[in-house]
Chains A and B, each alone.
Chain A
Amino acid sequence: MTPQLASFVIAVSLMSLCLIAGSPIADSPIAAIVISPNRDAVLLGSQKGLELRSWPGMLFVGTIDTELTHVHDLKFSPDGTMLLAAGGSPAEKGAVEVIDWANKKRVRSVVLHEDVVYRVAWSPDGMRWVTASGDGICSVVDAASGETIARYEGHSRAVLGVAFFQDNKTVASVGVDQTLRLWNSSDGTHIRTLDNHVGTVNSIAIGPIVPTADSNIPVTLATISEDRTVRLWQPTIGRLMRFGKLPSVPRTLTWSPAGDRLYVGCNDGCVGTIDSRTMEVVETVDANVGRIHDLALDFEKGLMLVAGEQGFHVTGFLVKQ
């Protein structure tokens, strides 16, 4: 048997096994992932659509119908009943599809922008959600009606990240214009701009509320940027608290429930665990998926789902007790 024929035979055999396990989406770029509220399923979003898999087995379950040619974000409502799938067609339209998670059916599709929606975020009370779009605009939408409540047009270029504060009013957004901006979700009025980053700000995450004796503990925000830094902010008073430098450009980040750790997925395919008090990287995991686009952590199981250019990867990680 020639080496070429051997390669072919092995490939066909292995591919058959893979097709049993799932569809080819698993090996194509995956831009968005989310673990279901009851932690028995995950949803993967890519240019090939929405794909449902079991968790943590990652066995292919099925697909969910979508009209989005690019899916960039997936977010469950705080009560876990509704799912937002954000994306659209680049340079054409940005849309968010609202999916009833119980029957996996699309209940509404809201076209809001002239470019794709990169990120979407629910308000903590689940009454609103907000978009971050490539057209440089953020839209606040009433969850019940799908009507636009407010728009924020303060960014000069594409908006790449957005987050609601715990007060259900204030929104923070970041983008290519290298700024972190705070604004009011009710009317879109600008509150404050923080511009310490010296590169595109790729993502933003609000820190968890940690019960302490001090009831006035300020909201803590984390941002990551092309300048290879992770920065912690007290945005309500406009203060950069501290920052850490990373060996590779960070693309996505998630807080630990206790707020003592940040998990950052980077261009080099590694996930760095950062101590939020020292900003030092305390652990690095090579996810082996190429450039990382999204992270989902299951703290109960101590498992991490990483999505990137070359598909997805499930790995364990240290959960600080």
Chain B
Amino acid sequence: MKTFAWFCLALWIEDCVQAVDFETDVMPVLTKAGCNSGACHGAAAGRGGFHLSLLGANPNSDYDAIVHEFEGRRNNQAHPEKSLILAKPTGNLDHGGDVVLDETGPGAKVLMEWIRSGVPRGTSAKLTNLKVEPNRYVGTKFPTTVSLRAIAIFDHGVQTDVTDRTVFSSADPAAVEIEESEGNEESEGNIVARIKRPGQHVVLARFLNRVVPIQFIIPLSEKAVDLSSQPRGNWIDEEILQLLSELRIPISPPSSSNEWLRRVTLDLAGRLPEPATVERIVLQDSPDVRSGYVDELLASEAFNDYWTLKFSKLLRFHSLPNDNEGLNAYSEWLRGEIHDGQGLDRIARQLLTATGDSHFIGPANFGRMVSDARDQAELVGQLFMGTKLGCANCHNHPLDKWTQDDYHGLAAVFSKLERGREVRLTSRGAVTNLRTGEPAVPRIPGFLDLDGPGDHRVAFADWLLSKDNRYFARATVNRLWQAMFGRGLVEPTDDLRDTNPPTHPELLHKLADDFVNNGYNIRHTLKQIALSHTYARSGEIIPGNDSDDRFYSHAYGRPLLPEVLIDAISDVTGVTGNFNGHASGSRAITIIDPLEPVAALDILGRCSKAKGCDENGQTNGGLSSQLHLLNGDLLNQKLVDTNGRLNKLLDAGHSDETIVREYYIRAIGRNPTEPESKHWCQQIMDTDEIKRKEKLQDFVWSLLNSRSFLENH
């Protein structure tokens, strides 16, 4: 009877006053104060015996911890002011995290009212959308301030201004600072972004389980830059030039024919252009000739080798103990698919669904490159969706929508896979959902539970490769862009999420659409990029674009892949690589097993099997690789090799000038300029043949240690 009485009274009161709600009122206070951050009680083990879900991802467990745990030690309904949840953050009791709430501020007031009203759980409305104003700001000057506003839209249709409960955080506080003035009885609080630096910046707005990025663009110059008359090779240029105009960044002139030729050959085929090719293309340079040359490269065996290597790194190829046959079958299959020009959707489907004898069925090895279903889920998320799901193993992803159910659900999709030589689906095998402690329900992340019978891998592949799903396409074209420019439209390339927006959102969208509409054909997309004027831009810095490292006003130099570098050294010196177990003359880019012992590759920084390092697998100038290039056998032995190019040129009686030109065109794809040629000839000239030879060796050594050679630019 009493319960009924309270119920009736509660009904009446509800009509009269708006109660404080735990999820929509209390939790934002805790999030804003940082209580549930990873550094505080949101840590995996909590802090001080008090654990909250990271950034409020699990309101039920948080309510339980605050209200129920240890017989309600954290709230005191008889004496609300003595509640730990209030007394600690306001500093009335000793708090390891210092004072994070003003005792008289709105946050403390919300907590107090909530406790006074009996710590109700409430029946929170479901947040369906979070709108921020502005969501994109293009300014004209700096420093400047921009007022921020957040509007929450709930499932019952109510829109509420939640600016004061929203956490705004700058991705780069040195560029954008968030300033907050707390409200008082006369005026409401105000939150502004103070922009201190020109460029493109991002601020994240977080309310409950939604995180929304706000983009700020401040031109790098006060003077407008007119790019309207700049030629466009295709729609890629349109998007790039539009943002450059907004940012007032002038563009560098087009690269020379030689520069473009070297760049595109390295990017598409992973090798340097032959002197004869340089001569042929440069002499006849035109859009048609370039288009024809790109087609030539895309059809070459070198392209197949190079892109087999690149995809093998993404797929984490590696040999298994006493089992090289599987890797051989896997690499032969992959190379065959690339050679045949198969769409990447077909390749992905085979990888996701293959079973059978892995010594004969290449894609069946996909699941053997990881240790278990969870690893496979992470690889699938990273590779096919461009997302890092790993966070959601232990807690809901703090910056994305992935939940623990998504993570363990995707792992459950692969949990019945037996990963021996014979890869097969079994009727057993499960993954425990760490959130529930129960077997995870197979699930397409963020979309659908797969609780019916059948091979859930097929259902996942169907979803991933459906026409209106852009996860796979966006992740792939972003990687292709990165392969051509040295950085992705989204960086890192395996971290695509709303809160890590692309530099050029519309371009990424169009690239993905174009990729899907052209049969997931990587050659098509690569050609589109290669023939754009953006790709053909010079690396020369001009006044006004020196600080640009992401808007493509000029080309960015980037180090060669270790495998490409070793092959390039072999090509220039005329001394082929000698790799154990491989035929003489083999190229390093055909060594796809990271466990194969090749000291030079290890020193230059090739990927390990543990991580799919599509962006990290480049020689990055680390000390060991620099020392190796300066003093190691990789270069020095090739310089003195009696069968090397230098000795042959000397034996043939070529002049210093000819030798210098030969090396220039092989190493950096162009003839030396007149001053360069003169300089080197003066340095090399010697009547003593032995000394002359040594000087020529020094010349080649210098050339091969120059940035012009070590980088693609």
A: residues with CB less than 8 A from B are 4, 7-8, 10-15, 17-18, 21, 26-29, 31, 46-49, 69-70, 72, 89-92, 116, 118, 134, 157-158, 160, 176, 291, 293, 309-311
- Judged by a CB distance under 8 angstroms, whether B707 is at the interface is no
Does B1 lie within 8 Å of A69, measured CB to CB?
no
> Per DSSP, are chain A's interface residues mostly helix, strand or loop, or mixed?
mixed
Between-chain CB contacts (< 8 Å), 24 pairs: A7-B8, A7-B9, A8-B8, A10-B8, A11-B6, A11-B9, A11-B11, A13-B5, A14-B4, A15-B2, A21-B2, A27-B6, A28-B118, A31-B71, A46-B78, A47-B76, A47-B79, A48-B77, A69-B79, A72-B71, A90-B73, A90-B74, A91-B84, A158-B49
Q: Contacts A48-B78, A291-B68 known; A14 to B11 CB distance under 8 Å?
A: no
For A29, what are the chain B residues with a Cβ–Cβ distance below 8 Å?
Answer: 71-72, 77
Tell me, in angstroms, the Cα distance from A15 to B6 when the chains sit together: 7
Tell me, in angstroms, the Cα distance from A243 to B552 when the chains sit together: 66
Contact of B84 among A7, A8, A90, A176 (CB under 8 A): A90
Q: Contacts A7-B12, A8-B12, A116-B73 known; A47 to B78 CB distance under 8 Å?
A: yes
Tell me, in angstroms, the Cα distance from A176 to B82 when the chains sit together: 24
For B6, what are the chain A residues with a Cβ–Cβ distance below 8 Å?
Answer: 11, 15, 27
Does B2 lie within 8 Å of A18, measured CB to CB?
yes
Using CB atoms, name the residue of chain B closest to A72. B71
Does B12 lie within 8 Å of A4, measured CB to CB?
yes
Does A134 lie within 8 Å of B5, measured CB to CB?
no
Does B78 lie within 8 Å of A89, measured CB to CB?
no
Interface centre among A8, A26, A118, A160 (most CB of B within 10 A): A8
Does B77 lie within 8 Å of A309, measured CB to CB?
no
B: residues with CB less than 8 A from A are 1-9, 11-12, 15, 49, 68, 70-74, 76-79, 82, 84, 87-88, 93-94, 118
Contact of B1 among A8, A18, A91, A157 (CB under 8 A): A18
Does A309 lie within 8 Å of B68, measured CB to CB?
yes
Does B93 lie within 8 Å of A118, measured CB to CB?
no
For A31, what are the chain B residues with a Cβ–Cβ distance below 8 Å?
Answer: 71-72
For B87, what are the chain A residues with a Cβ–Cβ distance below 8 Å?
Answer: 91
For A160, what are the chain B residues with a Cβ–Cβ distance below 8 Å?
Answer: 70
Tell me, in angstroms, the Cα distance from A311 to B1 when the chains sit together: 13
For A17, what are the chain B residues with a Cβ–Cβ distance below 8 Å?
Answer: 1, 5
Q: Contacts A15-B5, A90-B74, A134-B70 known; A4 to B15 CB distance under 8 Å?
A: yes
Tell me, in angstroms, the Cα distance from A21 to B5 when the chains sit together: 13
Q: Contacts A91-B93, A158-B70 known; A11 to B76 CB distance under 8 Å?
A: no
Using CB atoms, name the residue of chain A closest to B93. A91
Using CB atoms, name the residue of chain A closest to B84. A90
Contact of B49 among A4, A48, A118, A176 (CB under 8 A): A176
Does A8 lie within 8 Å of B76, measured CB to CB?
no
Q: Contacts A11-B12, A14-B8, A158-B49 known; A69 to B76 CB distance under 8 Å?
A: yes
Tell me, in angstroms, the Cα distance from A160 to B69 when the chains sit together: 12
A155 to chain B, nearest CB (A): 12
Tell me, in angstroms, the Cα distance from A8 to B14 when the chains sit together: 11
Using CB atoms, name the residue of chain A closest to B79. A69
B118 to chain A, nearest CB (A): 8
Does B12 lie within 8 Å of A92, measured CB to CB?
no
For B15, what are the chain A residues with a Cβ–Cβ distance below 8 Å?
Answer: 4
Does B77 lie within 8 Å of A89, measured CB to CB?
no
B558 to chain A, nearest CB (A): 50
For B76, what are the chain A residues with a Cβ–Cβ distance below 8 Å?
Answer: 47, 69-70
Tell me, in angstroms, the Cα distance from A26 to B3 when the chains sit together: 10
Does B77 lie within 8 Å of A47, measured CB to CB?
yes
Tell me, in angstroms, the Cα distance from A291 to B72 when the chains sit together: 11
A-B contacts, CB under 8 A, total: 92
Does A18 lie within 8 Å of B71, measured CB to CB?
no
For A27, what are the chain B residues with a Cβ–Cβ distance below 8 Å?
Answer: 2-3, 6
Interface centre among B2, B6, B78 (most CB of A within 10 A): B2
Interface centre among A21, A48, A91, A116 (most CB of B within 10 A): A91
Using CB atoms, name the residue of chain A closest to B71. A31
For A92, what are the chain B residues with a Cβ–Cβ distance below 8 Å?
Answer: 93
Using CB atoms, name the residue of chain B closest to A158. B49
Tell me, in angstroms, the Cα distance from A12 to B12 when the chains sit together: 10
Does A15 lie within 8 Å of B93, measured CB to CB?
no
Q: Contacts A4-B15, A26-B2, A48-B78 known; A70 to B9 CB distance under 8 Å?
A: no
For A157, what are the chain B residues with a Cβ–Cβ distance below 8 Å?
Answer: 49
B79 to chain A, nearest CB (A): 6
For A13, what are the chain B residues with a Cβ–Cβ distance below 8 Å?
Answer: 5
Does B84 lie within 8 Å of A14, measured CB to CB?
no
Does B78 lie within 8 Å of A69, measured CB to CB?
yes
For B72, what are the chain A residues with a Cβ–Cβ distance below 8 Å?
Answer: 29, 31, 47, 70, 309
Does B84 lie within 8 Å of A18, measured CB to CB?
no
Using CB atoms, name the residue of chain A closest to B74. A90
Does B71 lie within 8 Å of A91, measured CB to CB?
no
For B79, what are the chain A residues with a Cβ–Cβ distance below 8 Å?
Answer: 47, 69
Q: Contacts A4-B11, A29-B72, A90-B73 known; A10 to B5 CB distance under 8 Å?
A: yes
A sample of 5 more A-B contacts (CB under 8 A), given A21-B2, A31-B71, A291-B68, is A8-B12, A10-B5, A15-B2, A47-B72, A47-B79
Tell me, in angstroms, the Cα distance from A257 to B93 when the chains sit together: 44
A203 to chain B, nearest CB (A): 11
A64 to chain B, nearest CB (A): 15
For B11, what are the chain A residues with a Cβ–Cβ distance below 8 Å?
Answer: 4, 7, 11
A91 to chain B, nearest CB (A): 5
Interface centre among B12, B74, B94 (most CB of A within 10 A): B12
Interface centre among B71, B87, B94 (most CB of A within 10 A): B71
For B82, what are the chain A residues with a Cβ–Cβ distance below 8 Å?
Answer: 69, 89
10 shortest interchain CB distances as A-B pairs: A14-B5, A11-B8, A11-B9, A8-B12, A31-B71, A18-B2, A90-B73, A47-B78, A7-B11, A48-B78
Tell me, in angstroms, the Cα distance from A31 to B6 when the chains sit together: 21
Does B71 lie within 8 Å of A118, measured CB to CB?
yes
